[in-house]
Amino acid sequence: MSKLVESIKKAVELVELKDGMTISFHHHMRNGDFVLNMVMEAIAELGIKDLTVNASSVFDVHEPIIGHIKNGVVTGIECNYMGAKVGKAICEGIMEKPVVFRTHGGRPSDMEKGTSVIDVAFIAAPTADDMGNCTGKVGKSACGSMGYAFADAMNAKKVVVITDNLVQYPLNDFSISEVYVDYVVAVDQIGDPKGIVSGTTKITRDPVGLKMASYAAKVIDASGLLKDGFSFQTGAGGATLATAKYVQDMMLERGIKGSYGMGGITKYMVEMLNNGCFQALLDVQCFDLDAVESIRSNPRHMEVSATHYAGVSGKSAGVDNLDVVLLGATQVDVDFNVNVHTDSNGYIMGGSGGHSDTAAGSKLAIIIAPLSRARLPLVVDRCLCTTTPGSTIDVVVTQRGIAVNTKYGKNKELKEKLIAAKLPVCEIEDLKAMAEELCGVPKAVKLTDKVVANILYRDGTLLDTIKAVK
Amino acid sequence: MKITSTAVAGTLESSDVYVKVEPCDALEISIESVVYNQFAEEIEASVKNVLNEMGVESGKISINDKGAIDCVIQARVETAIKRAGGNK
């Protein structure tokens, strides 16, 4: 027996994809992904219409989907993140049905709860055998962890694995098991390795970024959480990486043995693992080649599913035991609500990813962002949309001051600790005033009443909407 | 001051502004900005203030703003005009 079929088109026919169905994709190929576009092209050629695309993330490389929306092949999009190119088209109102945004934890959990039904999952696999056992750890298009694809494989009615490195059965050390897979397709190339993982993720050299990073590290230190058993998540942004570097320095200097680092993993987290700062890494996605190499060779660098990482449908998740998470923001409002979905003109250029999952789970959720960017103040009266509720955010760190969120009857003690550590603690309103003194007060953006996206919180409830731009 | 040659000042980096001035019989100001929706009036006022202060009555002034604050816009416009001020 073999599940190998000769083309994507053939697989689409065999799974009996029909008008109105929902198909899914994972985003470990990131901006180097070829699979979503290849599959959509095959589907369009077969004349199938009215599909909903549930992709864990939509990147700029997926721009051809705009054409599929215009010609009726795609009538719905569900994702956790959307890049600026498709985001702009959505905000200009090209699709009738609003986009559904979830979080990295909410997406798999909604599938497991049955509120998000996937008819066919197409899984880009850097290495697979002809029965569908597959992994991201090896192959010319290696992406490391395939954490976001587990829920798709386990919950979709039909599963098609698409690989550019077909190996003899049985594949050793698979991530996704053949038991879930219906068909396997071998293609020349599932992605462009340059877009899949960046060669290097670099620590910022910008003095403003370094100042913010140094403050954030001091906040972590003063919080009292930096001790044996410490668990930590950071993104791949320049300033957050710099913070991780400062945290590592403190841990090594004091001989602190942490428990785990989590999230999208970069070489800095790998360095912390190898230097003994953590007992393990829980990796849902690799951001660079060092992380891919590490997950392949180091058993303490563990691949976890998105549910294990951040879900609410399991009995517990990694985020539930997280001490500290460092997060970014395009806007923060005076109630500490955070927007990472839209830019300051109201156009979609992001999404939660694990933002609201980790903020909710962690003991200390730190937003790190400059006081203003290109004349636009970080802190506003009301965010254009809410990605992460203010009640789950603890501290906002900028280069000019640090605001502690005491609005929800919490963090009073933390605020005292930061003041005692001689950090520049101020109120969130002060950050807004400082920025406006420098930049002026921006005119409000004009939005229409047309809802172009619904933002679902990690538990599946409607958190906010995004309106079309005028 | 009179604009007698073409000159530029500034960069296209975020938070900076690129100003180009050229000789022209009339006064023409064009503004392009990443924060046009939020700060168009402030940017125009900054440019006009500098032109008034320097006594510039004609010239083509092109502003390509990447989110510069007012003092930066004013400094860049002033520099561009001085560079175009016929000292050659």
How many other C-beta atoms can be found within 10 angstroms of the C-beta atom of residue A179? 11
**List of chain B residues whose C-beta atoms are within 8 Å of the C-beta of residue A439:** 39, 69
Q: Please indicate, yes or no, if residue A72 is contained in any of the structural domains.
A: no
State the pLDDT at residue A199: 61
Helices A267-274 and A238-254 cross at an angle (nearest 10°) of 10
pLDDT at position B70 over 90: yes
Domain that holds residue A111: 4-56+104-196
Tell me if B38 and A376 make a contact (CB, 8 A cut-off).
yes
* Partner residue opposite A440 with nearest CB, options B14, B37, B42: B42
State the pLDDT at residue A86: 98
Mind giving me the DSSP string for A190-201?
SB-HHHHSBS--
State the pLDDT at residue A330: 95
State the pLDDT at residue A461: 98
Q: Which residue of B has its CA nearest to A469?
A: B37
Q: Please indicate, yes or no, if residue A439 is contained in any of the structural domains.
A: yes
pLDDT digits (tens, 9 = 90+) for A381-405: 999 999 999 999 999 999 999 999 9
Domain co-membership, A283 together with A176: no
State the pLDDT at residue A204: 84
Q: Please indicate, yes or no, if residue A451 is contained in any of the structural domains.
A: no
Q: Is A427 left (phi over 0), alpha (psi -120 to 50) or beta?
A: beta
Q: Which residue of B has its CA nearest to A447?
A: B37
The structure tokens listed for B42 are 């402030």
Domain co-membership, A161 together with A13: yes
Confidence of residue A470 (pLDDT cuts 50, 70, 90): confident
pLDDT at position A41 over 70: yes
Confidence of residue A235 (pLDDT cuts 50, 70, 90): confident
The number of domains in chain A is 2
H helix and E strand count, chain A: 15, 27
Tell me if A443 and B70 make a contact (CB, 8 A cut-off).
no
d(CA A240, CA A216): 9
State the pLDDT at residue A193: 83
A21: CATH = 3.40.1080.10
Calculate the average pLDDT of chain A. 96
Q: Please indicate, yes or no, if residue A311 is contained in any of the structural domains.
A: yes
Q: Please indicate, yes or no, if residue A426 is contained in any of the structural domains.
A: yes
Mean pLDDT, residues A356-383 = 97
Domain co-membership, A180 together with A220: no
Confidence of residue B86 (pLDDT cuts 50, 70, 90): low
Confidence of residue A287 (pLDDT cuts 50, 70, 90): very high
Q: Of A137, A165, A196, which residue is a domain's last?
A: A196
Interface test with A, best of B12, B16, B31, B38 (most A CBs within 10 A): B38
- Residue B71 touches partner A, C-beta closer than 8 Å: no
With 0-12 / 13-18 / 19 or more C-beta atoms within 10 angstroms meaning exposed / middle / buried, residue A426 is: middle
pLDDT at position A201 over 70: no
Domain co-membership, A279 together with A310: yes
**List of chain A residues whose C-beta atoms are within 8 Å of the C-beta of residue B15:** 373-375
pLDDT at position A68 over 60: yes
Domain co-membership, A158 together with A255: no
Q: Where exactly are the structural domains of chain B?
A: 7-83
Which phi and psi (to 5°) does residue A140 adopt?
-65, -25
**B27, β-bridge pairs:** B59
- Residue B42 touches partner A, C-beta closer than 8 Å: yes
Task: Give the rounded percent of residues in chain A with a pLDDT score beyond 70.
Answer: 99
Tell me if A375 and B69 make a contact (CB, 8 A cut-off).
yes
Bond into A170 cis (ω within 30): yes
Q: Please indicate, yes or no, if residue A70 is contained in any of the structural domains.
A: no
d(CA A259, CA B39): 48
Chain B nearest CA to A444, separation (Å) = 7
Mean pLDDT, residues A100-114 = 98
State the pLDDT at residue A200: 60
How many other C-beta atoms can be found within 10 angstroms of the C-beta atom of residue A193? 18
Tell me if B39 and A375 make a contact (CB, 8 A cut-off).
yes
Mean pLDDT, residues A417-434 = 98
Task: Identify the CA nearest to A332 among candidates A431, A457, A463, A236.
Answer: A431
pLDDT at position B88 over 50: no
Interface test with B, best of A375, A376, A378, A470 (most B CBs within 10 A): A375
State the pLDDT at residue A237: 78
Tell me if A440 and B70 make a contact (CB, 8 A cut-off).
yes
pLDDT at position A131 over 90: yes
Q: Please indicate, yes or no, if residue A45 is contained in any of the structural domains.
A: yes
- Residue B66 touches partner A, C-beta closer than 8 Å: yes
pLDDT digits (tens, 9 = 90+) for A328-338: 999 999 999 99
Tell me if A442 and B69 make a contact (CB, 8 A cut-off).
no
Chain B nearest CA to A345, separation (Å) = 8
Contact between A272 and A278 under an 8 Å Cβ cutoff? The reply is yes
To which residue do tokens 């559904």 refer?
A100
pLDDT at position B87 over 60: no
Domain co-membership, A391 together with A316: yes
Lowest mean pLDDT among A193-207, A234-248, A419-433: A193-207
